[in-house]
A = this chain, B = another copy of it.
Amino acid sequence: MTVSHATALASVPAAIGTLRSHGLRASAARRLVLEALFAADGPVTAEAIASGLDGRVPRSDLASVYRNLETLEAIGVVQHFHPGHGPGRFAPATDGRVELLACERCGDVQAVAPARLDGVRALIEREFGYRARWTHFPMAGECARCSAERGPAAAR
Seen from chain A, the residues whose Cβ lies within 8 Å of a Cβ on chain B are: 82, 84-85, 101-104, 110, 112, 116, 119-120, 123-124, 127-134, 136-144, 147, 155-156
State the CA gap A25–B14 with chains docked (Å). 63
Q: Which chain B residue has the least Cβ–Cβ distance from A103?
A: B130
The DSSP consensus for interface residues of chain A is mixed
Q: Is the CB of A133 within 8 A of B104?
A: yes
Residues of B within 8 A of A131 (CB): 141-142, 147, 155-156
In the complex, which residue of chain B has the Cβ closest to the Cβ of A132? B141
The CA of A85 and the CA of B136, in the complex, are separated in Å by: 11
Taking a contact as CB atoms closer than 8 A, the residue among B110, B112, B123, B128 that contacts A144 in the complex is B128
Contact between A141 and B133 (Cβ–Cβ < 8 Å)? yes
In angstroms, Cα B138 to Cα A142, docked, is 14
Measured between C-beta atoms, what is the minimum distance from A104 to chain B in Å?
7
Query: Closest approach, in angstroms, between the C-beta of A95 and any C-beta of chain B?
Result: 15
Apart from A116-B128, A129-B147, 16 more pairs, CB < 8 Å = A84-B137, A101-B128, A101-B132, A104-B133, A104-B137, A112-B128, A120-B123, A124-B141, A131-B147, A131-B155, A132-B141, A133-B141, A134-B139, A136-B140, A137-B137, A137-B138
Q: Which of A120, A131, A133, A144 has the most CB of B within 10 A?
A: A131
A140 touching B147, Cβ below 8 Å? no
CA distance A142 to B132 in the complex (A): 6
